A and B are shown apart, each in its own frame.
Chain A
Amino acid sequence: MKENAFVRRYGLMILAGAVVGAAALLLTAAGNPKNMGFCIACFERDIAGALGLHSAGKVQYIRPEIIGIVLGAMLSAFAFREFKARAGSCPATRFVLGLFVMIGALAFLGCPLRMVIRLGGGDLTAVAGLLGFLAGILAGVVFLKKGFSLGRAYPVKMGEGLALPAVMAGLLALLLLAPGLLKFSEEGPGSMRAFWLVSLAVGLAVGFLAQRSRLCMAGGLRDAFLLRDFTLLAGFLTIWITVTVGNLIAGNYNLSMLSQPVAHSQHLWSFLGMALAGWGSILLGGCPLRQLILAGEGNGDAAVTVLGMIAGAAIAHNFGLAGNPDSTADGVYQVGGIGAAGMIAVAAGFAVLLAVSLLHLPGKEEA
């Protein structure tokens, strides 16, 4: 009986975590950037670049993984009668939060999912990000305990719920039918890509399973702190274990601080970037992956958050806020990271998150 209870509680989550971890390994083997496989923040940033919203030539491509995740979640939500068109819970605030979650993630060079994938590749520079993510989640939990809420969403017309899935279908159509309208990286991470059909299929599978399991990288730690509920955390840990084991078997595990793929050693700003992303994710009710899933389920507020993240990526690259990886020039190891503008943007992000957190606490009559 106990075993049955364990399987009922954790089975789907562990399956989803294992599939996401395996998907990251598969996509890396199929051509996506190392220690990435897939990264929600990086891939939304690549989409922003492909659309010409920023002009960083190394990070431009319509990533079919993102399209697949949203459409996979939508198919799952329809199949299990969970698709509900809902919106109206502080959409403008969510846009801004999404924007700063992206700025924080790009300061670190990865969303919470990629943070775990980097850890699974032995990238010790991601430890600072993990610690920052924990700190950010704790900050968010403090405000949740005080009653923070962005308020209710309400039923809306089906068209609103289908908005982001339709945008994603449109992006897929552009990629396949009118690639000449788009920008594609010829070097750098944006040029490293699996065949589109592989990316799309993996995205669909991940979207479907993440919708069923409710996988959320921020929710796992939040629920552990807030409710002593470890269900979602099981997914987080399973991804980490799966990627670690896969990399060890394939000989790709490199336990080191140095020369890690698309990563930098500016530890303080890795910490702060992920703290910003973690805190923002708690205020939004889920990590960047979860926002894609919710948008696929018909949640217009999550769709606005995703659009905010794409805008944040454009701003990050147009104003030089994003992190640069460590590099080696003429045999000299050069530490990357963010510049003064990026530091100011991250600091501004904390000020915005604090303001949003305080402004959405219950009034005296509601407390």
Chain B
Amino acid sequence: MIDARGLSCPMPVVMTQKAIQKDAPAVLEVLVDAQVAVENVTRYAQSQGYRTAVEPQGPDFKLTLNK
């Protein structure tokens, strides 16, 4: 699980990119707190062949990336 809450652009995507490039996990969860981060992480994950699901968690969002 990547916790990218409170991190400004583009840190949530950079953290996701690092995790995917490191060992291409089949499933990756990313926690963010801004809609823009949801959009950016989703766009990057989809470009890497992941399906994405977003689940609101209070003021935050949990993204689940599946290969």
A222/B6 in contact, CB under 8 A: no
Q: Which residues of B contact A250 (CB under 8 A)?
A: none
User: In the complex, what residue of chain B is closest to A301 when comparing beta carbons?
Assistant: B8
Within 8 A of B (CB), among A202-236: 214, 216, 219, 222-223, 226-229, 231
- What's the least CB distance linking A6 to chain B, in Å? 13
- In the bound complex, what is the Cα–Cα distance between A144 and B39 (angstroms)? 19
B59/A219 in contact, CB under 8 A: no
Offer 17 A-B interface pairs, CB within 8 angstroms, sorted by A. Answer: A80-B35, A84-B33, A84-B59, A89-B6, A89-B7, A144-B14, A149-B11, A151-B7, A152-B6, A153-B6, A214-B36, A214-B39, A226-B14, A227-B13, A227-B44, A285-B9, A286-B9
Interface size on A, residues (CB 8 A): 30
Count of inter-chain pairs, beta carbons less than 8 A:
59
- In the bound complex, what is the Cα–Cα distance between A216 and B36 (angstroms)? 12
**What DSSP secondary structure best describes chain B's contact surface?**
helix
Within 8 A of B (CB), among A149-183: 149-155
A223/B10 in contact, CB under 8 A: yes
A222/B8 in contact, CB under 8 A: no
Residue from B11, B17, B33, B35 in contact with A227 in the complex, judged by beta carbons closer than 8 Å: B17
A285/B8 in contact, CB under 8 A: yes
Residues of chain B touching chain A, judged by Cβ–Cβ distance below 8 Å, are 5-11, 13-14, 17, 33-36, 39-40, 43-44, 47, 59
Q: Provided the pairs A84-B33, A229-B44, A231-B43 are in contact, do residues A219 and B8 lie with their beta carbons within 8 angstroms?
A: no
- In the bound complex, what is the Cα–Cα distance between A88 and B43 (angstroms)? 27
Q: Which residues of B contact A82 (CB under 8 A)?
A: 34-36
B10/A219 in contact, CB under 8 A: yes
Residues of chain A touching chain B, judged by Cβ–Cβ distance below 8 Å, are 9, 80, 82, 84, 86, 88-89, 144-145, 149-155, 214, 216, 219, 222-223, 226-229, 231, 284-286, 301
- What's the least CB distance linking B66 to chain A, in Å? 20
**Residue among A151, A152, A222 with the highest chain B CB neighbour number at 10 A:** A152
8 smallest CB-CB distances across A and B, nearest first, come from A152-B6, A285-B8, A153-B6, A285-B9, A82-B35, A149-B11, A214-B36, A227-B44
Q: Which residues of A contact B47 (CB under 8 A)?
A: 227-229
Given A82-B34, A86-B33, 9 new contacts (CB under 8 A): A80-B35, A149-B7, A214-B36, A226-B14, A227-B10, A227-B17, A229-B40, A229-B43, A285-B9
- What's the least CB distance linking A282 to chain B, in Å? 9
B6/A219 in contact, CB under 8 A: no
B9/A219 in contact, CB under 8 A: yes
- In the bound complex, what is the Cα–Cα distance between A8 and B14 (angstroms)? 23
- In the bound complex, what is the Cα–Cα distance between A85 and B33 (angstroms)? 11
Q: Which residues of B contact A285 (CB under 8 A)?
A: 8-11
Q: Which residues of B contact A223 (CB under 8 A)?
A: 10
A152/B43 in contact, CB under 8 A: no
- What's the least CB distance linking B35 to chain A, in Å? 5
A84/B36 in contact, CB under 8 A: no
Q: Which residues of B contact A155 (CB under 8 A)?
A: 59
- In the bound complex, what is the Cα–Cα distance between A151 and B8 (angstroms)? 8
- In the bound complex, what is the Cα–Cα distance between A144 and B59 (angstroms)? 27
Q: Which residues of A contact B7 (CB under 8 A)?
A: 89, 149, 151-153
- In the bound complex, what is the Cα–Cα distance between A89 and B8 (angstroms)? 9
- In the bound complex, what is the Cα–Cα distance between A84 and B39 (angstroms)? 16
Q: Which residues of A contact B13 (CB under 8 A)?
A: 227
